[in-house]
Homo-oligomer: A and B are copies of this chain.
């Protein structure tokens, strides 16, 4: 029998799923293993940066007031009384017309209030003592990096939930976070369903295809920051499927199945949700592809029933699963970014449903332009490999023309921090 399902708008479907979004736990990780993880706590400035007044150059620390009369015709001489490398501190204070040789990054000596770069000095000896002469004057504070000028102690530098980039890593190191609190990765189980599915290593047989959704979804889970647990593929047998789904649910934070959610005779997922006592949040979405995408929840744990069609499966993951995983990781922006782009092809075909078209988005003279290949049947296979955006075409329109502005969901994050 054909079950008549009522489609709901994409936005409403996302909303229903996000009601069950929850943050995961936090674990400690050595800094060297933290790259790419999400911060489990904010990064604070645990001290002033720089922690002391320091020299950003190799040169000589002086008292600026002593250089006041220096010019090309009237070089001023300074007695070089000490030498400090980075990591050592001057033993004495700086007196009038004295200079202390200072290396990049070294702490300013007491009394010194300007640094003269090495290349602006002339070094010479007098009475067996070292001297320099300079031919210009300096202001108080010239060539000094002041204590706390980069960040004052206690400042929140990076919010919890931010992804750990190389820059964030530098901050963590600066402030002594040898161990970093990071968000635990969600464990995401994956079952592919369908008797037509062969394993990747199997030879093709009549009527069968290799299971590409399983490995694809696992890679999508990794991209979104989760740990994929691939449980294999299920044959079209209700009892086996039910048992497998029930057991898998106990081992994971989120469970994904691909296939089995249509209204065909071998689509068991709806019956499995019922037998489990899971609440179906929706089983039809007003979108193409992926209208049969079904999401259910059992005791707050989400079961994503993605379509067996590869494009629909891909889109369903990015719209519904991705923001759940990012929320688990503590991200403040769990959804993928939507950018405006100029369409470079015509889409005359009207569609009552919102369409998500796999596209290639690039930039041209500072503008995003989008060249879809997903609608072009002959290119479906490789378009999947190169797609970096999902063009969102609202339903109920007359179609779209080259030059139109469209929304594109970016699949890869150019910000690096979400």
Q: How near does chain B come to A245, taking the closest CB pair, in angstroms?
A: 19
Given the known A-B contacts A31-B200, A340-B365, are A174 and B410 also in contact in the complex, defined by CB atoms under 8 Å? Answer: no
Q: Is A18 an interface residue (CB 8 A)?
A: no
Q: Is A128 an interface residue (CB 8 A)?
A: no
- In the complex, what residues of B have CB within 8 A of residue A215's CB? 31-32, 169-170, 172-173
Structural contact, A104 and B308, CB atoms closer than 8 A: yes
Residue of B nearest to A414 (CB): B414
Q: How near does chain B come to A243, taking the closest CB pair, in angstroms?
A: 20
- In the complex, what residues of B have CB within 8 A of residue A170's CB? 212-213, 215-216, 310, 314, 384-385
C-alpha gap A52/B208 in the complex (Å): 9
Q: Is A386 an interface residue (CB 8 A)?
A: yes
Near B by CB (< 8 A), chain A positions 175-209 give 175-178, 194-197, 199-204, 206-209
C-alpha gap A170/B158 in the complex (Å): 36
Chain A 384-418 against B: per-residue CB contact (8 Å), 1 yes, 0 no?
11111000000000000000010000111111110
Given the known A-B contacts A366-B342, A367-B366, are A266 and B378 also in contact in the complex, defined by CB atoms under 8 Å? Answer: no
Structural contact, A164 and B35, CB atoms closer than 8 A: no
Q: Is A262 an interface residue (CB 8 A)?
A: yes
Count of this chain's copies in the oligomeric assembly: 2
C-alpha gap A367/B365 in the complex (Å): 9
Structural contact, B265 and A150, CB atoms closer than 8 A: no
Structural contact, B415 and A388, CB atoms closer than 8 A: yes
Chain A 226-263 against B: per-residue CB contact (8 Å), 1 yes, 0 no?
00001000001000000000000000000000000011
Q: Can you report 23 residue pairs joining A to B where beta carbons are below 8 Å apart?
A: A32-B215, A43-B385, A47-B204, A85-B196, A85-B265, A86-B207, A103-B265, A106-B196, A106-B207, A150-B381, A158-B385, A166-B217, A167-B385, A170-B216, A170-B310, A173-B214, A173-B215, A176-B202, A176-B203, A176-B204, A361-B414, A362-B415, A366-B367
